[in-house]
């Protein structure tokens, strides 16, 4: 569709703790950012979508306090690098339910408040509100979405399943 940017979604398929280690180290982080920029340039994508979920699903919650600011730094630096080539940055993240850092808070390793300042769009995984391990119900009810979304540009991401 004309006017809709084509972005490549990059997934974190590293072992537990590995991507957290990469983004914590300035040298490794810079090399990773340059590799992403080169990939976008090589295939002429208009932008990149970072969908790094291992922080939330593989790494121990005990690492989140340290990983959280490192991920923001990574996103800030990647956004600046992509912008030099005229490309956009989207970051896809699982839901956060409140401003706390408890088990019930959701995936607070992703700092929405800081991330939105460094992305063109923040895509919240707005699915699995009800899933195979819960009672039957909606996948992403509007009331839940409205209550949990934060402006500015946020896109709701649907499951491909």
- Please report where in the chains the tokens 């992703």 appear, as a residue: 110
Least Cα distance to 148 among 92, 94, 103 occurs for 94
pLDDT of residue 157: 53
Q: Which residues in 32-153 belong to E strands, given as ranges?
A: 47-51, 88-93, 121-125
Tens place of pLDDT per residue across the chain (161 aa): 788 889 999 999 999 999 999 999 999 999 999 999 999 999 999 999 999 988 888 888 889 999 999 999 999 999 999 999 999 999 999 877 777 787 877 788 899 889 999 999 998 887 666 777 778 887 777 776 666 555 444 455 544 43
Give residue limits of the domains in the chain.
7-157
The answer for 106, left when phi > 0, alpha when psi is -120 to 50, beta otherwise, is left
- 46 closest CA partner among 6, 90, 89: 6
pLDDT at 126: 72
Topology of domain 7-157 in CATH is: TIM Barrel (3.20.20)
Q: What is the pLDDT of residue 152?
A: 43
Contact 77, 33 (CB under 8 A): yes
pLDDT at 132: 77
């Amino acid at each position: 569709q004309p006017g809709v940017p084509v972005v490549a979604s990059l997934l974190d398929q590293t072992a537990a703790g590995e991507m957290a280690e990469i983004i914590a180290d300035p040298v490794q982080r810079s090399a990773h950012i340059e590799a992403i920029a080169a990939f976008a340039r090589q295939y002429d994508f208009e932008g990149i979508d970072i969908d790094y979920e291992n922080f939330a699903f593989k790494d121990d919650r005990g690492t989140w306090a340290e990983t959280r600011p490192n991920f923001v730094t990574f996103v800030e630096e990647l956004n600046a690098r992509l912008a030099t080539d005229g490309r956009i940055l989207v970051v896809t993240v699982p839901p956060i339910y409140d401003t706390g850092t408890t088990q019930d808070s959701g995936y607070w390793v992703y700092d929405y408040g800081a991330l939105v300042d460094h992305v063109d769009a923040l895509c919240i995984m707005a699915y699995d509100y009800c899933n195979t391990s819960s009672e039957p119900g909606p996948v992403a009810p509007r009331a839940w979405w409205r209550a949990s979304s934060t402006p500015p540009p946020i896109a709701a991401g649907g499951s491909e399943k």
